[in-house]
DNA sequence: TTTAAATGTCTATTGATATAGACAACCATA
DNA sequence: TATGGTTGTCTATATCAATAGACATTTAAA
């Protein structure tokens, strides 16, 4: 695991770097044999830091619910997960990861109306200032938050989409009700950045965590844009898979 | 710009968080009108920190060559870039970003032979332990490093690929010489993580930076796997675009 | 029941991080 | 050339991060 050295004086505390590395190792399955993290003294030796620094890192992971320390026994792994999230013409939140978890759910956080910005108008191929419906949603897998998304829909076609989504919990079903039987992904842009304050709260992340940002455009079968969305995923919980 | 608050006591120093945010703003074009970063006193006010903290952040960006402070005038933006990197059936390094930069180049860092691990054998659909050629390359755009990649090729078909690549600097050309006129991207997996020590060196990153990791499988026109690669991109320099 | 191994807690010290204030040096321009 | 706005440098102080060591507490196994 500890093949790479820890960096000092980088503005990122050692305990945080180590916590990130241990989290990655856990997700990679490095400790699956024992189901436990190596002893603090051994980790301290491996990373070349003091045991107290290791303890800070493990405390952060315990705070995330990833490990649980038991005095006298060791530090047990409580949870590990990295969902594979396919991106294709028919990308939908629940379908793609449905076989990897027991339950997927989508929760409406907020909704509103707004005028199309220059950028949104360009993407959705409508005039600047045209009315849009904005949906902010939280995607969950087995009751754990995976992504938070903001979506925009042209209000003239989808003025009632918020209400329908609130009831059905599904964009796909809401589209069907509003006369869009099917839709396809036109383009997806993927970037990565540090989690901001809202990410931390909504996705239950630890500060300094990484989020994968996917900006996506969906269109109906006549190739008319119907939805533009910006989704933010906890990077340590998902993996994007692009099938060609 | 400073819509989001910065977080304290997270293990990530304020100056590093602020540096990351300013870098993002620069890349986003927020300061294109003036070509300068706002004055230190104003940034200190916006972020709610001391001016010295802002100076630490700007010093880090100056170290990266992104800004240059001029006493009496202000802090000038030297460089901004975020290349858009298309991912499709015909994903190749140089073609995709060729129209965004003046020059793309690919440099061979190292090469070697190794036996196929279980995972590599599964991906390339060969037997475990079969001989592979490993290529480690550095992708550059306008003389700035963009990605570092490790690729594996079945040695029975592509035993000489390292030598040909060294001469031509192109995987596509090397494949052609070895009887593969064309190839397609089968699948791409995208994750994000913190930069490790090698990333920092090869990609000239600042510590704490983020890398986008793309694991890709290419196959020839008969759908026989020819290349498996793991590429690491500086997250603040690229954006992946998935066209469907 | 003893012992080894693991986590938990405490004190002390050093260096990095962040704040606060003052003033110097430099540039553009009125 | 005088002035306002900007970056550069210095001192001082408080808090966080990291190291170091000692010892307590708990668990599992000898």
Separation in Å, CA of A167 to nearest CA in chain B: 30
- In the sheet that holds A36-37, the strands lie side by side as A36-37, A74-77, A67-70
Q: Please list, in sequence order, all residues whose beta carbon lies within 8 angstroms of the beta carbon of residue B102, skipping any fewer than 6 positions away.
A: B142
Q: What pLDDT sits at residue A235?
A: 83
* CA–CA separation, A141 and B29 (whole Å): 36
Q: B132-162 pLDDT, tens per residue?
A: 999 988 888 766 788 899 999 999 999 999 9
Q: B72-124 pLDDT, tens per residue?
A: 999 999 877 566 677 766 666 555 554 555 456 677 888 889 999 887 888 89
Q: B2-18 pLDDT, tens per residue?
A: 345 666 767 788 888 88
Percent of chain A predicted with pLDDT > 90: 27
The pair phi, psi for residue B185, each rounded to 5°, is -80, 120
* CA–CA separation, B152 and B132 (whole Å): 6
Q: Which of residues 161-190 of A touch B (CB under 8 A)?
A: 184-190
Tell me the two tokens of residue B199.
Answer: 């990333």
| Half-sphere CA count of A234, side-chain side, radius 13 A | 27
> Domain spans of chain A?
14-77, 83-242
Q: What is the distance in angstroms measured between the alpha-carbon CA of B172 and the sugar C1' of C2?
A: 69
* CA–CA separation, B94 and B244 (whole Å): 20
Q: What pLDDT sits at residue B173?
A: 87
Q: A226-241 pLDDT, tens per residue?
A: 999 999 998 877 878 7
Query: Mean pLDDT over all residues of chain A?
Result: 82
* Strand C bases within 7 angstroms of protein beta carbons: 4-11, 16-21, 25-28
Q: What pLDDT sits at residue A91?
A: 62
Say if residue A63's pLDDT is above 90: no
Say if residue B215's pLDDT is above 80: yes
Q: A164-203 pLDDT, tens per residue?
A: 988 887 888 899 999 998 888 888 888 887 787 788 878 8
Cβ-based contacts of B208 with chain A (< 8 Å): 7, 10-12
Say if residue A21's pLDDT is above 90: no
- What ipTM score was computed for the predicted complex, to two decimals? 0.59
Mean pLDDT of B11-38: 83
Looking up tokens 């061979």 gives B108
Q: What pLDDT sits at residue B1?
A: 46
Residue A125's nearest CA partner among A154, A155, A166, A95 is A154
Q: What pLDDT sits at residue A2?
A: 38
Q: A25-36 pLDDT, tens per residue?
A: 887 678 888 889
Mean pLDDT of B19-42: 84
CATH 1.10.10.10 is held by the domain B14-77: yes
Mean pLDDT of A80-85: 66
Specify the range with the lowest mean pLDDT, choosing from A138-152, B48-62, B144-158.
Answer: A138-152
Q: What is the distance in angstroms measured between the alpha-carbon CA of A134 and the sugar C1' of D12?
A: 51
Query: Mean pLDDT over all residues of chain B?
Result: 82
- Our measurement of the distance from residue B28's CA atom to the centroid of its chain's CA atoms, rounded to an integer in Å, reads 17
Say if residue A44's pLDDT is above 70: yes
Q: What pLDDT sits at residue A3?
A: 43
Mean pLDDT of A46-72: 88
* CA–CA separation, B131 and B122 (whole Å): 14
Q: A100-131 pLDDT, tens per residue?
A: 554 566 778 888 889 998 878 888 999 989 99
Percent of chain A predicted with pLDDT > 70: 84
The CATH fold assigned to A83-242 is Chorismate lyase (3.40.1410)
Strand D interface, B 118-157, C-beta < 7 A: none
Q: B164-212 pLDDT, tens per residue?
A: 988 887 888 899 999 998 888 888 888 887 787 788 878 887 666 788 9
CB contact under 8 A, A212 and B192: yes
Q: What is the distance in angstroms measured between the alpha-carbon CA of B6 and the sugar C1' of D25?
A: 39
């Amino acid at each position: 695991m500890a093949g790479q050295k820890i960096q000092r004086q980088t503005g990122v505390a050692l305990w945080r770097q180590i916590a990130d590395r241990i989290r990655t190792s856990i997700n990679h399955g490095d400790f699956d044999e024992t189901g436990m993290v190596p002893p603090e003294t051994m980790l301290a030796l491996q990373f070349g830091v003091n045991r107290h620094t290791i303890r800070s890192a493990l405390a952060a992971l315990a705070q995330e619910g990833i490990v649980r320390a038991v005095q006298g026994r060791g530090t047990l792994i409580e949870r590990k997960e990295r969902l594979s999230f396919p991106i294709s013409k028919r990308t939908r939140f629940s379908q793609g990861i449905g076989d990897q978890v027991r339950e997927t759910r989508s929760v409406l956080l907020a909704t509103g109306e707004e005028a199309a910005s220059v950028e949104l108008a360009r993407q959705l191929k409508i005039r600047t200032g045209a009315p849009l419906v904005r949906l902010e949603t939280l995607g969950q897998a087995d009751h754990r938050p995976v992504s938070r998304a903001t979506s925009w829909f042209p209000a003239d076609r989808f003025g009632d989409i918020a209400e329908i989504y609130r009831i059905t919990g599904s964009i796909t079903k809401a589209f069907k009700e509003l006369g869009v039987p099917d839709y396809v992904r036109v383009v997806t842009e993927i970037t990565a950045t540090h989690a901001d304050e809202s990410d931390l709260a909504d996705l239950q992340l630890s500060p300094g965590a990484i989020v994968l940002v996917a900006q996506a455009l969906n269109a109906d079968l006549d190739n008319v844009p119907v939805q533009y969305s910006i989704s933010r995923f906890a990077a340590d919980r998902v993996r994007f898979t692009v099938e060609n």
